[in-house]
Amino acid sequence: MSSITLKRSYSRSSILSQVHNLGLNYITCLLSSVSEPQSHHFSPSIQKQPKYGNGYHFLRESGTGFSSLFMKTLKISYGSHWVTFPTNYYVRQFSSHVAFEPSTSYGLTVDGIIANNWTMLDESESDWKSHASAIAQSIHLIKKRLQWKKLIVRLEILSAQLNKPDLWDDPVRAGKICREHGSLMGKMKEVKGFEQELLEHIDMIKLAREENDADLESESLKALLRMRRSTKEKELEALLAGEHDSSSCFIEVQAGAGGTESMDWASMVMQMYKLWAQHRGYGVTVVDEMSGDIAGIKRATIKVDGEYAFGYAKAEVGVHRLVRISPFDSGKRRHTSFAAVAVIPILGDVSSRVQISESDLRIERFRAGGAGGQHVNTTESAVRITHIPTGVTATCQNERSQHQNKASAMAVLQSRVDQLEMARQAQMNAQHTQSLTEISWGNQIRTYVLHPYRMVKDLRTNYEVSDPDSVLEGDLDGFILSFLSASLDKDEDYL
């Protein structure tokens, strides 16, 4: 009966998901009807717990005399207020856990808050309505970015699969389903937790006012402010909720037609990404680079290591166009050059990678000349690896040993083969980005103009900047975020 196994946790999201599980809104509703909440003095064991003003504490006491007193009660603390409920309330509630619109004790819902259109004052104004509507709007945006409706449908499909008795006949697939289910569930619970928490704070403010409890009111207000800030941050995180967004990635740049002109532009673009990645604190390594005959690069691949590298960089996929007076043209004419950019995620989860067997590979010395062996001393030890069944190839020549070049090329090959597989499965649910060979030169995403005026403009979002130098030095976040939000936020019928 009283099998509450909740422990205080510092992780907000886990508390909130637990809170949600217990259908706390029900308890909240009760709150207003409990005329005299039983207040307890802190016992020493409770005082050791950090005191939080912005949440509820569920405590399971065990093995002490103290516990017996609470065996069948659930304690909720709100600031200095402790409220106790008989456990059978929430047990009943837990078992009849159904989806319904959470609301405050007087029927206000999150959508209701948005519909109220309260004037939104600055954070510093300490106005609870402003906080509440800012939070409600953040939640709304987060849901939109998570593609809420799709997420719920997907969760239902996954849950159905999880319930099938033959699930574990294919352990790899089962593992995948479990992981995806867990990750989506986490996202859903977090958002629901936000909704609950918001409404509870509003209830508390009401309660505090009714009881003229200034402390409680100010605590609640502070809690709302904290929430306002943290949900604002979550808006950004929700932009990067795609399946592989948190992965590291490879960025590839290839020069378009136009010889030296475009090869120079391709190396400028590559440099822009190197600087961007460094500014973000990512690790950058050049994996493969084919220099142009006179200047620049024909193509190059860099590896960008760090959390969310793929999530951000995927916004850069497509053709980048440059307009300038050519430094290579003695006639000082205006030239237009193109460079194509592809981004490939490096899947962290080994089980989701394509299994490549040694016998499917052909490994060749990249620039073999002459008799080799003792005859030749060269620091050039690049290899080209071909995956025979798909024809995908990869090369690395920037490592100092053949063994390491081979290992790096293999990592690139693996990701390219994975990407191909993702593209194949794209109709299901995986997001995928185009490889260099798939990108059409007509797919221009951004123009950089250095002459006759100076501007960088994204053709997808119309986001523009009048200082090309800063962009070419890696200041790309404005473009990336505006693209990510535009692509997720435009979709209005998600809810």
Partner 1 sequence: MKLSFTRASLSSVLVPLIFNSNLVRPISCSSVSCSPASAKPQTPLFLRSPTFSATLSDLKKWQDWAKTLASSVGSSFLDSDNGPDATLLQREFNWLIEDALEHPKTIGITDNDKKNMVVTLRADLEDLYELWKQRIEERRPFQYIVGCEHWRDLVLSVQEGVLIPRPETELIVDLVGDVIKDNEGLREGLWADLGTGSGALAIGIGRILGSSGRVIATDLSPVAVAVASFNVQRYNLQDKIKIKQGSWFEPLKDVKGELMGLVSNPPYIPSEHISGLQAEVAKYEPRLALDGGSNGVGSLLHLCNGAVSMLKPGGFFAFETNGENQCKFLVDYMETETEGCFRDAKIISDFAGIQRFVTGFRAQ
Q: How far is the CB of 478 from partner 1 (least distance, A)?
A: 22
Q: How far is the CB of 473 from partner 1 (least distance, A)?
A: 9
For partner 1, the closer of residues 136 and 412 by Cβ is 412
Q: Are 289 and 397 in contact (CB under 8 A)?
A: yes
Tokens of 424: 């194949």
Question: Are 101 and 75 a contacting pair, CB within 8 Å?
Answer: no
Q: Which of 50, 107, 331, 370 binds partner 1 (CB under 8 A)?
A: 370
Contact flag: residue 99 with partner 1 (CB under 8 A):
no
Using rule CB under 8 A, residue 333 touches partner 1:
no
Identify any residues that bridge with 78 across adjacent strands, giving them in sequence order.
81
Closest CA to 296 of 322, 316, 334, 277: 322
Between 259 and 298, how does the x/- string for binding to partner 1 read (CB under 8 A)?
Answer: --------------------------------x-------
Q: Which of residues 444-463 bind partner 1 (CB under 8 A)?
A: none
Question: According to CB under 8 A, which residues from 381 to 410 bind partner 1?
Answer: 381, 383, 397-404
Per rule CB under 8 A, is residue 369 in the interface with partner 1? yes
d(CA 82, CA 365): 73
Report in angstroms how near the CB of residue 405 gets to partner 1 at its nearest: 9
Spatial CB neighbours of 452, under 8 Å, sequence gap ≥ 6: 334
The nearer residue to partner 1, 46 or 476, going by C-beta atoms, is 476
Closest approach of partner 1 to the CB of residue 275, in Å: 10
| Segment interacting with partner 1, rule: CB under 8 A, options 368-376, 414-422, 424-432, 447-455 | 368-376
Q: What values do phi and psi take at 366, rounded to 5?
A: -75, -50
Please choose, out of 211-219, 377-385, 413-421, 439-447, the segment that lies near partner 1 by the rule CB under 8 A.
Answer: 377-385
Q: Does 357 bind partner 1 (CB under 8 A)?
A: no
Binding partner 1 by CB under 8 A: which of 360, 372, 426, 431?
A: 372
Contact 104, 129 (CB under 8 A): no
- When asked if residue 469 is in the footprint of partner 1 (CB under 8 A), the reply is no
Would you state the structure tokens that stand for residue 4, as one six-digit string?
Answer: 């509450």
Which long-range contacts does 257-260 make (Cβ < 8 Å, 24+ apart)?
A: 257/338, 257/441, 258/335, 258/336, 258/337, 258/338, 259/292, 260/292, 260/293, 260/294, 260/295, 260/296, 260/328
The verdict on 105 binding partner 1 (CB under 8 A) reads: no
Instruction: Report, in Å, the least distance between residue 279 CB and partner 1.
Output: 13
> Residue from 3, 5, 374, 462 that binds partner 1 (CB under 8 A)?
374
Least distance CB 383 / partner 1 (angstroms): 6
Q: Which of 63, 107, 331, 373 binds partner 1 (CB under 8 A)?
A: 373
Binding span for partner 1 by CB under 8 A among 15-23, 111-119, 323-331, 359-367: 359-367
At 418, the amino acid letter reads D
Cβ 190 to partner 1 shortest distance, Å:
38
| CA 127/CA 433 separation, integer angstroms | 44
Smallest distance, partner 1 to C-beta of residue 418, A: 24
Q: Among 1, 10, 16, 6, which Cα is nearest to 75's?
A: 6
The answer to whether the CB of 323 falls within 8 A of the CB of 448 is yes
CB-wise, 113 or 251, nearer to partner 1? 251
- 358, burial (CB in 10 Å: exposed 0-12, middle 13-18, buried 19+): exposed
Question: How many whole angstroms separate alpha carbon 194 and alpha carbon 445?
Answer: 36
Residue choice 377, 391, 453, 490 for contact with partner 1 (CB under 8 A): 377
> Minimum distance between the CB of residue 293 and partner 1, rounded to whole angstroms?
10
CA distance 288 to 363: 16
- Segment interacting with partner 1 (CB under 8 A) among 15-23, 104-112, 118-126, 358-366: 358-366
Pick the stretch among 12-20, 74-82, 316-324, 363-371 that binds partner 1 (CB under 8 A). Answer: 363-371
Query: Could you please report the per-residue DSSP string of 308-333?
Result: THHHHHGGG-EEEEEEEE-TT-TT--
Upper half-sphere CA count for residue 353 (Cβ side, 13 Å):
18
Contact between 360 and partner 1 by CB under 8 A: the answer reads: no
Joined tokens for residue 284: 């950058």
Size of site (CB under 8 A) for partner 1? 27
Token pair 């590979």 in the structure block, residue = 361
Coil, strand or helix: which one is 176? helix
Task: Give the Cα separation of 114 and 119 in Å (integer).
Answer: 11
47 binds partner 1 per the rule CB under 8 A = no
Closest approach, Cβ 402 to partner 1, in A, equals 4
Q: Closest distance between partner 1 and the C-beta of residue 379, in Å?
A: 5
Q: Is residue 480 within 8 Å of residue 343, measured between CB atoms? A: no
* CA–CA–CA angle 137, 139, 142 (5° rounding): 110
Distance CA 446, CA 316 (A): 9
> Can you tell me which of 119, 375, 462, 492 binds partner 1, judged by CB under 8 A?
375
Q: Which residues contribute to the site for partner 1 (CB under 8 A)? A: 291, 363-365, 368-381, 383, 397-404
